[in-house]
Amino acid sequence: MEGMIACCGLNCSKCDAYLATQTDDNAKRQSVAKKWAEQYKADIQPEHINCDGCLADGKKFFFCLNICELRKCCQEKNNDNCAVCDEYMCDKLEKFVEMAPQVKEALEQIRNSA
């Protein structure tokens, strides 16, 4: 079972924003916002930490909803994720993999099981 794999290959079911949302845990929202604000050098506040996952209906973290190029591209191409794309692995995805190497493993796993 691959869990809730986002367009980009991240596992939403292990994402701190997802976990804080599902347990409605404000202390966790605060610590995640602080961690991500430092990590991504962005203005991320506890109230931003609300997400039901990349492919789910419902709340989404603003980065994944409005900014993530991979998600936008998947939606345009009607792909559930980049693993099923005929342009795999494109430059956009390669750049993301440099920052988040774990997604390559997840995407390869999907490709190998297809």
- Separation CA 48–CA 73 (nearest Å): 23
Q: Which stretches of 1-114 are DSSP H helices?
A: 16-22, 26-40, 62, 69-77, 91-99, 102-113
Q: How far is the CB of 30 from ligand SF4 (least distance, A)?
A: 16
The answer to the question of residue 20 lying near ligand SF4 (CB under 6 A) is: no
Site for ligand SF4 in 27-46 (CB under 6 A): none
Q: What are the DSSP calls for 80-105, one per residue?
A: SSGGG-TT-S-HHHHHHHHH-THHHH
* Nearest to ligand SF4 of 90, 113 (CB atom): 90
The answer to the question of residue 61 lying near ligand SF4 (CB under 6 A) is: yes
The answer to the question of residue 18 lying near ligand SF4 (CB under 6 A) is: yes
> Contacting ligand SF4 (CB under 6 A), which of 88, 104, 108, 110?
88
The answer to the question of residue 109 lying near ligand SF4 (CB under 6 A) is: no
Q: What is the dihedral sign for C-alpha 13, 14, 16, 22?
A: positive
N- to C-terminal Cα separation, the chain? 13
What residues make contact with ligand SF4 under the rule CB under 6 A?
6, 10, 12, 15, 17-18, 51, 53-54, 60-61, 64, 70, 73-74, 77, 79, 82, 85, 87-88, 90, 92-93
